Structure 1
């Protein structure tokens, strides 16, 4: 039987994106800044914010689709 509902992977992806974004910003950026690795620091900042923004966009999009 097909129930019409499905279990999505967004339940796992959204927290992972937010958590990895926070870890990148809190740990990696600070570490690269202390060592003086400016390129790596910039890439870590970009990826950290990208993960957080992508997680929020997916969360909001999923919420809109669920409550349409």
Structure 2
């Protein structure tokens, strides 16, 4: 009927989103203060990439659990 799964997927989502947020809040600020333009751009890209990966993993997890509950 309904199978409960204990996994680490929620922790992965949390780590991706939190690390992306911290990169955007801390690293980008320090790089712009130090006038390091390329490093600031790279940190901004990596921060948004982490947040996007976390949200993508969360969405696929929700979709897979809904599909699994329908079967």
TM-score computed with the length of structure 2 as normaliser: 0.85
- Who is 1:23 aligned against? 22
Q: Deviations over 1:10-58 (max 9, x none)?
A: 1210000000000000110011001001111011000000000000000
Unmatched tracts of structure 1, length 5 or more: none
1:62 aligns with 2:64: no
Tell me which residue corresponds to 2:39.
Answer: 40
Instruction: Calculate the aligned-residue CA RMSD, in Å.
Output: 1.1
Gap runs ≥5 in structure 2? none
